[in-house]
Amino acid sequence: MRRRALLPAVLSLLLLAALGLHLFLGRDAPPVTEALTALSRGEAGSYDQSVVLFQRLPRALIAIYAGAMTAAAGCVLQGLVRNPLASPSTLGINSGATLAVIAGVFLLDLGLEAQGFAALVGAVGGFLASLAVTRLAGRNNDPRGLSLILSGALVSMLLVGTTNALMLSDPMRRADFLSWVSGNVNHVYIDRLYAFWWIGVLCLLILGALSRALTLILLGSEKAASAGVNVRPVSTLALAAAVVGAGSAVAICGPIGFIGLVVPHLVRPFAGANVALALPCCLLLGAGISLLADFGAREAFHPYVLHTGLVMDLLGGLAFAMIVKRFYLSPAVRDQA
């Protein structure tokens, strides 16, 4: 128990280390003294200082936000829909938000703020569409929730396809959004972070306040209700906060997969099932991994910079296969079924 309580501190150190790596190291890194001067003064007196202040720092902040929000959303979603494969990228949330932003820009000429709002609406829409398809498929005789994940995949395919069709329709604008749509941490999106960060903070506050009730819901809705939880309103509010929080991350830097799916699995063996502890740990680890992935994307093929989203998708595919193997294909599980 005492070891578990130390976990957030350990993960905070990890996050700080990742942040230091991201800001101060790598090829073409400005001298550390220059970087520190820029950060402490908050203004750039030289080219090196402006690189730190206007490229590396914004990039780091975006990576932290996107990683933290998707990991937190994945943690809550996996608990509430009782499915180890649930995450913003597997339940139509990311693709819904992406389509909404692209449709808003290409068809309605939405401005920045309106794009953010569209992303939130799209995230909720994509999630509800996945649930609706599951309902159609009949999930009563599906104890392990495979149909929910398959529905999410189908809905995502439809939404991504529609997004691509829209992108193809307008070559002029396509160039502006080509990198955003594949999930790209980039300092040019910092104005989006300034516009939307409060949404994530609000969602996290809501989830934090509900964390004890969410832990009880893991025991089953009747057990939770008998212990004093109003299961329906709590579940609805928590799902909304998770989906909207994940949508706000998409609004900033496009859909980033992997983290929402995998981080909760990494955290759970150490933090346990208690949401009040697992949630902050997911936040910290999600932000840290996101920073490291972005660092890797920036440095791996120097001087070319990879899309962070692509790096994540590569890692995510591997992790997805491992989770499927563990929860669905391992001999012990098959014997149960």
The distance of closest approach from Cβ of residue 220 to other proteins in the complex, given in angstroms and rounded to an integer, is 5
Alpha carbon distance 138, 116 (integer Å): 34
Task: Specify the DSSP class assigned to residue 29.
Answer: P
Cβ-contact 37, 169 below 8 angstroms: no
How far are the Cα atoms of 3, 16, 228, 249 from residue 290, in angstroms, in the given order? 25, 13, 37, 12
Cβ-contact 86, 238 below 8 angstroms: no
Question: In terms of CB distance, is 229 or 244 closer to other proteins?
Answer: 229
Binding site for other proteins (CB under 8 A): 1, 79, 209, 212-213, 215-216, 218-220, 222-223, 225-230, 268-269, 271-274
Question: In terms of CB distance, is 163 or 211 closer to other proteins?
Answer: 211
Alpha carbon distance 270, 247 (integer Å): 28
- Within 10 Å of residue 165's Cβ, how many Cβ atoms? 12
The distance of closest approach from Cβ of residue 218 to other proteins in the complex, given in angstroms and rounded to an integer, is 5
Question: In terms of CB distance, is 43 or 222 closer to other proteins?
Answer: 222
Cα end-to-end span (Å), the chain: 33
The distance of closest approach from Cβ of residue 46 to other proteins in the complex, given in angstroms and rounded to an integer, is 46
Question: In terms of CB distance, is 223 or 325 closer to other proteins?
Answer: 223
The distance of closest approach from Cβ of residue 199 to other proteins in the complex, given in angstroms and rounded to an integer, is 21
Question: In terms of CB distance, is 223 or 302 closer to other proteins?
Answer: 223
Residue recorded with tokens 């150490």? 270
At 165, the amino acid letter reads A
The distance of closest approach from Cβ of residue 230 to other proteins in the complex, given in angstroms and rounded to an integer, is 5
Burial 119-134 (b: 16+ CB within 10 A, else e): bbbbbbbbbbbbbebb
Question: In terms of CB distance, is 89 or 211 closer to other proteins?
Answer: 211
The distance of closest approach from Cβ of residue 215 to other proteins in the complex, given in angstroms and rounded to an integer, is 6
Question: In terms of CB distance, is 1 or 6 closer to other proteins?
Answer: 1
Cβ-contact 262, 319 below 8 angstroms: yes
The distance of closest approach from Cβ of residue 164 to other proteins in the complex, given in angstroms and rounded to an integer, is 39
HEC secondary structure over 116-183: HHHHHHHHHHHHHHHHHHHHHHCCCCCCCCHHHHHHHHHHHHHHHHHHHHHHHHCHHHHHHHHHHHCC
